[in-house]
Amino acid sequence: MTTELERRLETLAVEVPDPGRVTARVLSSRRRSQGRRWPPVALSVVAALVMMALVAYFAPIASTVVARVPIAGDALGARDRVTLVGDSATSNGYTIALVAAYADAARTELIFHSSPVASLGLGVQMSDQFGRTYIMRSSFSDLVTGDTNVELDPLAWPAPLTGARITVRIAQLHPDGDPTAAPVLGVWVLHATLGVDEATSLALPAPATLGHARLRFTSVVYTPGSLAVDFEITGVSFEDSQLGVSGDPKPKPPFAVDVLDSNGKSIMSSSAERVDWLGVIHVHVLGNRTSDARYSIVATYFADRMERTITLT
């Protein structure tokens, strides 16, 4: 039996869509969708550019050839391996320029020039592109020329492999080099890109005994610009081991150490000592290399004297 609903459905008029129009609409929709996509080649180019930017920042030596030029004098033992920088900043009436820099496995050296003449003291802070900060070891200011030589810890791995993009911040200085005068506050930010000279390790010299002091060498390394010697002292107090330089006419502590070239001239640029909880005194001595291949480490403790010869390979 046919129901009323069935009769109405049989007489209902339904428009059948044109297959051609449906196909054309679907294809045009696909073309519009595909037009908004990045082609695979374009994505590869973008990825390569991003990777190159990251490499250039974190490994600046990959895209930057650091120009190394000689500088006047022997402020740095590296001489012709010093990088000319030339970046400068001005604050509170003083201009500070980062003139040159040198980095190797033993140290980082920075040379500044201030105008008017001022001393930077111990207010220099340095960081690398990895966000690490480095401790300032020493500084020396020439109050005639306005030049200051600053030594910091060596750049840490992987900077020796990648090169370093350093940022130097200075927050205060002493006008005319007078440490008693009120410091001049300011903001000086300087930048440089450095390569790092590798180090070569040498065989350790034989230990020595000087009176009650016993010396044991732990490291001897050299780079194109420096010679670094590390040794331990036991058997004496830390006060007795406060280093002097042998041959220095000024009063000095009982213990003195020096590094000499083949002509008997001192090449030592800095030294540092620390004592650990066992009472062992750790000594780090750094010298500026000359053209010589043979050097002597000389240590004295009261009347006793030790000398060890180092030959660079």
Q: Domain for residue 231, yes or no?
A: yes
Quick one: 240 and 262 in the same domain?
A: yes
Q: Is 81 in contact with 197 (CB distance < 8 Å)?
A: yes
Confidence class of residue 14 from pLDDT cuts 50, 70 and 90? low
Q: Domain for residue 261, yes or no?
A: yes
If one compares 276 and 127, the residue with the highest pLDDT of the two is 127
Quick one: 289 and 233 in the same domain?
A: yes
Quick one: 85 and 184 in the same domain?
A: yes
Quick one: 85 and 178 in the same domain?
A: yes
Q: Is 194 in contact with 103 (CB distance < 8 Å)?
A: yes
Is the per-residue pLDDT at 53 higher than 80? Answer: no
pLDDT of residue 247: 52
Quick one: 169 and 210 in the same domain?
A: no
Cα distance between residue 35 and residue 25, in whole Å: 16
Q: Per the structure block, which two tokens stand in for 177?
A: 């080099």
Tell me the pLDDT of the chain averaged across its residues: 77
Domain boundary, last residue among 168, 194, 220: 194
Domain boundary, last residue among 148, 170, 194: 194
Quick one: 204 and 304 in the same domain?
A: yes
pLDDT of residue 190: 95
Nearest to 298 by CA among 261, 272, 269, 270: 261
Q: Is 174 in contact with 119 (CB distance < 8 Å)?
A: yes
Quick one: 143 and 180 in the same domain?
A: yes
Is the per-residue pLDDT at 47 higher than 50? Answer: no
Q: What is the pLDDT of residues 66-99, one digit of tens each?
A: 444 444 334 455 455 678 888 999 999 999 999 9
Q: Domain for residue 16, yes or no?
A: no
Beta strands in 53-207 (DSSP E): 83-91, 94-103, 108-115, 118-119, 124-127, 133-134, 136-142, 147-152, 164-175, 184-194, 200-201
| Mean pLDDT, range 27-32, rounded to an integer | 49
Confidence class of residue 243 from pLDDT cuts 50, 70 and 90? low
Is the per-residue pLDDT at 30 higher than 60? Answer: no
Quick one: 98 and 128 in the same domain?
A: yes
CATH number at residue 256: 2.60.40.1640
Q: Domain for residue 91, yes or no?
A: yes
pLDDT of residue 163: 81
User: Range with the lowest mean pLDDT among 176-180, 200-204, 248-252, 255-259?
Assistant: 248-252
Q: Domain for residue 174, yes or no?
A: yes
Quick one: 213 and 278 in the same domain?
A: yes
Quick one: 212 and 169 in the same domain?
A: no
Query: How many structural domains does the chain have?
Result: 2
Q: Domain for residue 6, yes or no?
A: no
Q: Is 155 in contact with 106 (CB distance < 8 Å)?
A: no
Q: Is 233 in contact with 240 (CB distance < 8 Å)?
A: no
Is the per-residue pLDDT at 273 higher than 90? Answer: no
pLDDT of residue 265: 92
- Provide the residue range defining the domain that includes 116: 79-194
pLDDT of residue 239: 66
Quick one: 122 and 190 in the same domain?
A: yes
Domain boundary, last residue among 166, 194, 222: 194
CATH number at residue 147: 2.60.40.1630
pLDDT of residue 196: 85
Is the per-residue pLDDT at 139 higher than 90? Answer: no
pLDDT of residue 50: 44
Report the SS3 class of residue 277: coil
Quick one: 274 and 297 in the same domain?
A: yes
Q: Domain for residue 42, yes or no?
A: no
pLDDT of residue 69: 43
